[in-house]
């Protein structure tokens, strides 16, 4: 067995046992080459660096599963390959969502109203509502969740009906944006966009 492979095997045995020094040496051995490949694939040093860190984090987290008898390079590049596929799937999904939203201006109201009736999405919607500014959140909750009219909400809060309308439009857009930038919301929005396109 070549000396380099013997040394690597020894490092992998130590890494498998949780040796941080061995992990750092493995990182130094492979990170530059892997980073270069990722940059070529992704055309972005920032994205490449992020995926590189995710790959080695997974290596550390799953160190007990490493087989020192098998090619570590193949194992490493397989993890990187999966991470890159995940990245491109996410980007493709985001683009499809954005495309659907751009071509269906009525989806804002449709999406939010449907979520209000869908118990399974209460938590997701609650997170989206919570990120609204205080008064906008209050207006949205009173109109959309409590069923009050614009006039009732305006009288209660001492603001005009046009201001209420503005809050609802902006709140709905903000919720839409939150969902399209949230991994858990992306698929829901895409499915809804697809079905409202018919």
DSSP string, the chain: --HHHHHHHHHHHHHHTT-HHHHHHHHHHHHHHHHHHHHHHHS-HHHHHHHHHHHHHHHHHTGGG--TTS-HHHHHHHHHHHHHHHHHHHHHHHHHHHHHHHH-TTHHHHHHHHHHH-GGGHHHHHHHHHTS-HHHHHHHIIIIIS---HHHHHHHHT--HHHHHHHHHHHHHHHHHHHHTSHHHHHHHHHHHHHTT-
Structural domains in the chain? 3-90 (1.10.1740.10), 104-195 (1.10.10.10)
pLDDT in tens, 146-162: 889 999 999 999 999 99
Q: What confidence score (pLDDT) does residue 60 get? A: 94
* Predicted TM-score (pTM) of this structure: 0.48
Q: What confidence score (pLDDT) does residue 40 get? A: 83
């Amino acid at each position: 067995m070549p000396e380099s492979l013997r040394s690597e095997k020894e490092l992998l045995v130590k890494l498998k046992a949780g040796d941080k020094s061995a992990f750092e040496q493995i990182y130094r051995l492979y990170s530059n080459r892997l980073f270069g490949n990722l940059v070529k694939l992704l055309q972005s040093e920032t994205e490449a660096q992020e995926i590189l860190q995710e790959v080695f984090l997974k290596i550390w987290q799953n160190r007990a599963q490493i087989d020192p008898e098998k090619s570590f390079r193949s194992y490493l590049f397989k993890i990187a390959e999966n991470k890159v596929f995940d990245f491109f799937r996410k980007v493709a999904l985001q683009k499809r969502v954005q495309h659907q939203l751009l071509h269906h201006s009525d989806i804002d109201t449709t999406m939010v109203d449907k979520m209000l009736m869908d118990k399974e999405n209460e938590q997701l919607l609650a997170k989206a509502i919570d990120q609204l500014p205080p008064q906008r959140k209050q207006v949205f909750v009173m109109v959309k969740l409590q069923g009050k009219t614009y006039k009732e909400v305006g009288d209660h809060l001492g603001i005009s009906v046009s201001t209420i309308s503005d809050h609802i439009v902006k709140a709905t857009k903000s919720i839409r944006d939150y969902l399209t930038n949230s991994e858990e919301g992306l698929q829901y929005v895409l499915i809804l966009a697809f079905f409202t396109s018919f």
